[in-house]
Amino acid sequence: MGRVYSITSPAPKGGISYKQITVDYENMPVILKPIYTGICGTDRGIVKGSLNFAYCPLGYGDLALGHESICRVISAKSNKYGIRSGDIVVPIVRRPGQCLNCITGRSDNCSDGDKHEAGVTGMHGFMREEFGDSPEYLLKVSSDTMKEVGVLTEPLKNVEKAFEVYDLVSRRSISTDRFGSLSEKRAIIIGTGSEAFLYALKCRDYGFQTLITNRHPIDDLKMKFLDTAGVQFFDYTKEHRDESGWDLVIDTSGDPGTIMRFLRKTNNNGNVILFGTNGSAPATGIDGQDIDHIIERNIFLIGSVDGARVHYELALKDLERWNVQYGDKIKSLITHRYSPDDTSVFTKKDPLEIKSVIDWSK
């Protein structure tokens, strides 16, 4: 048994304490120390007590938070996955249950819900000075240059999975333009958080004309980043766009009214990726014309959650490439670095934040 200095939350009651809990990890084959752990709305929701699906591991009254991370291997027993002491790795968040999807490596498509997620559902997370894991759940990061942006692997793997589904469903018709490319096709991303930015980069890689929107303006730093990537921002409450419509709509807001606003402007054979979740968002009306619109235009609605090992691998490859393509700019997605002692990051979100991380060297 080892003492672990952890940020813990007595989920699902809410509230945060920064205290030592005892977690047995020393018998695990690999011992890890986080370099960075990322913060997202899920961590903040657990701390607030608003995510009633979060629960502690069996036998514990606390939950160590943290599912986005990049870690250094402190020690590793010999293993067939090539994980060695000194390696930099990204741990996989979701751990399989017993269903067919889970046992064949696709716990992202779990069919009975009997899986666990580190730092969220029934498994301690990665926001600890040290923790143990099995090598099969670790992905090696190729170089030290990825030490920083590698913390984006976990949020980006969700995007990779959504595009896997997009690739499948977009084959049902000719989805390219008259040049055989996507340069005349338009993607719109709703929301301007970290997932939205990652979606925007991916849409640019695909060659879409890419726009991103929110119900308020965004700061210069975000505008500058989007400019670098060739992505246009507009505040949909103020600006009137042309009527050429959307070929791909990606929602990260979870707001039904906003989703319908953009879905109503979706083109023939368009695809709509529903990604954002907000259980407390207000209801919106859908009428017969909306249903006709979806049917008559062959619009495909895609719900997409999580990602599998293959998507972590794709995410790592994309981040390595973007690291070269965008240089230091990609690092500017990490806007805030907190010390592990500063738990205020769980209760406040700076309006300038794209991604906040805890720097475990502090």
Can you list the alpha helix ranges (DSSP code H) found in the chain? Answer: 41-48, 100-103, 153-169, 194-206, 220-229, 256-263, 288-296, 309-325
Alpha-carbon distance of 315 to 321, in angstroms, equals 10
Q: How far is the CB of 29 from ligand NAP (least distance, A)?
A: 28
Residue 34 to residue 323: CA distance in whole angstroms: 21
Contact 250, 190 (CB under 8 A): yes
Residue whose Cβ sits closest to ligand NAP: 193
How far apart, in whole angstroms, are the C-alpha atoms of residue 192 and residue 74? Answer: 36
- Interacting residues with ligand NAP (CB under 6 A): 40-42, 158, 190-196, 214-215, 252-255, 258, 275-278, 304-306
Among Zn ion, ligand NAP, none, what binds residue 43 when CB lies within 5 to 8 Å by partner kind?
none
Q: What residues contact 92, with CB distance under 8 A and at least 6 apart?
A: 137, 138, 139, 309, 312
Our finding on whether 102 is near Zn ion (CB under 5 A) is yes
- Token pair for 156: 């980006």
| Dihedral angle sign, alpha carbons of residues 270, 271, 274, 276 | negative
Residue 255 interacting entry, from ligand NAP, Zn ion, none, C-beta within 5 to 8 Å by type: ligand NAP
Map residue 270 onto helix, strand or coil. strand
3 state DSSP class of 198: helix
CA–CA separation, 191 and 159 (whole Å):
14
99 forms part of the interface with Zn ion (CB under 5 A)? yes
Compare residues 61 and 257 and give the one whose CB is closer to ligand NAP.
Answer: 257
Closest among 89, 85, 48, 87 to 65, alpha carbons compared: 48
Nearer to Zn ion, 117 or 148 (CB): 117
Give the residue with the Cβ less far from ligand NAP, 61 or 303: 303
Q: Does 110 bind Zn ion (CB under 5 A)?
A: yes
Instruction: Pick the stretch among 26-34, 106-114, 266-274, 350-358 that binds Zn ion (CB under 5 A).
Output: 106-114
Q: How far is the CB of 106 from Zn ion (least distance, A)?
A: 9
- Pick the closer one to ligand NAP by CB: 41 or 270: 41
Min CB(312)–Zn ion separation in Å: 18
Query: At closest approach, how far in Å is the CB of 45 from ligand NAP?
Result: 8
Residue 40 binding result from Zn ion, ligand NAP, none, given CB thresholds of 5 to 8 Å by partner type? ligand NAP
* Shorter beta-carbon distance to ligand NAP: residue 68 or 133: 68
> In terms of CB distance, is 138 or 196 closer to ligand NAP?
196
308 binds Zn ion (CB under 5 A): no
- Residues in touch with Zn ion (CB under 5 A): 97, 99, 102, 110, 115
